[in-house]
Amino acid sequence: MTANRTVVRGGLVITASDEIHADLLIEDGRIAAVAAHDSSAARAWDDAQVIDATGKYVIPGGVDGHTHMEMPFGGTTASDTFETGTRAAAWGGTTTIVDFAIQSVGRSLRAGLDAWHAKADAQCAIDYGFHMIVSDVDEHSLKEMDILVEEGVTSFKMFMAYPGVFYSDDGQILRAMQRAESNGGLIMMHAENGIAIDVLVQQALEAGRTDPRYHGEVRKALLEAEATHRAIQLARVAGAPLYIVHVSAQQAVAELAAARDMGLPVFGETCPQYLFLSTDNLAEPDFEGAKYVCSTPLRPREHQAALWQGLRTDDLQVVSTDHCPFCFSGQKEMGRGDFSKIPNGLPGVENRMDLLHQAVVDGHISRRRWIDIACAAPARMFGLYPRKGTLAPGADADVVIYDPHAEQVISSQTHHMNVDYSAYEGRRITGRVETVLSRGVPVIDGRTYVGRAGHGQYTPRGTCQYLD
């Protein structure tokens, strides 16, 4: 047996474009060949170590293009470190994350990026890349964007929300978009009208409306739609492509669909929390609603149909998690008596692949669309394809053996994220990750964690491949 040759035998290999009963040959951490099960080509790989995938799906490792490990926010820090968060991601079948390095106001992009490298270096169980949050647009940071694109940090998140923290005004946004137009970068937009929202927050608190559910009421769908529309027009003026993060409102999906119908290079992401949760959760009594405070906020249940439809029609291309966990105890509780002090964010990096498989079972999306929105599209969007996001000769052997018939119940008692609650507590899921390989190396082996901090490598990225 040759140690660096592995064959995954007998499974249904699913990519964004194909489903075939095939065997997969892995050599030196890469996919070497895919051949029909039991074909003469596959039978010739008899010197390789065998992983039996009979009756299972063989899928590319998930690519989560939106996480916030150890993110300082709202006076506290997201509770997953790069070590705990990437381990949990692997448990859930995700083998690549793209996290957000943050430029602090008054400091350089480089200083922010260096700080995030220091947090992640030698800690990760799976591969990772970085986007850059731009919070201070000036001549220097605009020049730095060019350098970062060259280095493989090819996407830049900007905020139309959070005045005084991450907020950029329209002029700053336009300047960054113009720069992206010339350097090939992709602007990722948090599209909510934060100036108007802050007025409504103040008015709600003054009227004694302090419970978590008011977080959802003041961050109005119309103010997400308005910001989405404005961001699209600014991108048109700049001639730049645009990616809207965490789309939650039906009216925002409509803005994206209209722009795409015009042929504009505008893309959108939604997250499991908007597909599976709603304002009903935000309204849970005894401050339990705080567990569901994130921005953009959860919407009334009626918005979910538009999100599913957007995913089916490709008006939305990607499902990422916006994983940004805060413990209920001691962190979410900071906002008792004042919803605006609840740290914004939900855990989910471990649950995304399973929840989206449940969407396949429930008939919302096809199996191939599952792999597209969770693996291939984010890899393409963020310049990682076909190394990540598919199973084809030459690709990294990031492979998940997925049991489509296993039954599980999501719970904080059994999850691996470093957070004391689950946003999906008690939810029944059909399907479960069984084995995960990262560049051919087992990270999860038959539901046992066998990975290590430091296996995961920093992965510089190319530019958005939807524009090629």
- What's the chain's length in residues? 468
294 binds, options Zn ion, ligand DUC, none, Cβ within 5 to 8 A by partner type: ligand DUC
Cα 190 from chain centre:
14
Candidates 171, 83, 152; CA nearest to 120 is: 83
Which of 344, 418, 422, 463 binds ligand DUC (CB under 6 A)? It is 344
CB-based contacts of 199, cutoff 8 Å, min separation 6: none
Among ligand DUC, Zn ion, none, the one that 168 touches (CB under a kind-dependent 5 to 8 A) is none
Three-state secondary-structure class, residue 150: helix
Look at the alpha carbons of 221, 309, 348, 78 in this order and tell me if their dihedral is positive or negative. negative
**Residue 73 binds: one of ligand DUC, Zn ion, none (C-beta under 5 to 8 A by kind):** ligand DUC
Q: What is the DSSP letter of 339?
A: G
List the end-to-end C-alpha distance of the chain, in Å, as a whole number.
42
Give 25 or 293: the residue with its C-beta nearer to ligand DUC.
Answer: 293
- Closer to ligand DUC by Cβ: residue 294 or 379: 294
DSSP summary character for residue 346: B
| Residues between 178 and 197 that touch ligand DUC (CB under 6 A) | 190
Q: Look at residues 79, 57, 101 and name the one whose alpha carbon lies nearest to residue 348.
A: 79
| Euclidean distance between CA atoms 335 and 214, whole angstroms | 12
Stretch 45-84 residues interacting with ligand DUC (CB under 6 A): 68, 73
Residue 105: helix, strand or coil by DSSP? coil
| Contact range with Zn ion by CB under 5 A, out of 111-119, 189-197, 211-219, 384-392 | 189-197
The nearer residue to Zn ion, 190 or 387, going by C-beta atoms, is 190
Hey, which residues between 77 and 96 contact Zn ion (CB under 5 A)?
Answer: none
Kindly state the smallest distance separating residue 115's Cβ from ligand DUC, in Å: 17
Rank residues 69 and 395 by Cβ distance to Zn ion and give the closer one: 69
**d(Cα 193, Cα 195) in Å, to the nearest integer?**
6
Pairing of strands 428-438, 155-159: unpaired
190 touches Zn ion (CB under 5 A): yes
How far apart are CB 105 and Zn ion at their closest, in Å?
17
CA atoms within 13 A on the CB side of 198: 10
Q: ∠ CA 126-130-132 to the nearest 5 degrees?
A: 160
Instruction: Retrieve residue 136's tokens.
Output: 């201070």
Question: Cβ closer to Zn ion: 12 or 271?
Answer: 271
Alpha-carbon gap, residue 105 to 103, rounded angstroms: 6
- Interface with Zn ion in residues 28-47 (CB under 5 A): none
Shortest separation between residue 366's beta carbon and ligand DUC, angstroms: 29
Site for Zn ion in 322-361 (CB under 5 A): 322
Please say which residue, 98 or 371, places its beta carbon nearer to ligand DUC.
98
Rg of the chain on CA atoms, in Å:
21
Give the one residue of 14, 318, 324, 365 binding ligand DUC; rule: CB under 6 A.
324
Question: 455, 429, 448, 466: which is closest to 91 by C-alpha?
Answer: 448
Give whichever of 161 and 443 is closer to ligand DUC, judged by the CB atom.
Answer: 161
Closest approach of Cβ 162 to Zn ion, in Å?
A: 8
Site string for ligand DUC, 275-294 (x = CB under 6 A): -------------------x
CA distance 347 to 392: 31
Beta-strand relationship, 94-102 and 57-60: unpaired
The one of ligand DUC, Zn ion, none whose footprint includes residue 56, by CB under 5 to 8 A per kind, is none
Partner from Zn ion, ligand DUC, none binding residue 344, C-beta < 5-8 Å depending on class: ligand DUC
Q: Which CB sits closer to ligand DUC, 58 or 294? A: 294
Window 245-284: contact mask with Zn ion (x via CB under 5 A): ----------------------------------------
Binding letters toward Zn ion, positions 310-329, x by CB under 5 A? ------------x-------
CB of 108: closest distance to ligand DUC in angstroms?
21
Size of the site for Zn ion (CB under 5 A): 2
What is the token pair recorded at 439?
A: 């560049």
Dihedral of CA atoms 295, 300, 302, 308 in degrees, nearest 10, equals: 30
What is the DSSP-derived secondary structure letter of residue 440? T
Positions touching ligand DUC (CB under 6 A) are 68, 73, 190, 294-295, 322, 324, 344-345
Positions touching Zn ion (CB under 5 A) are 190, 322
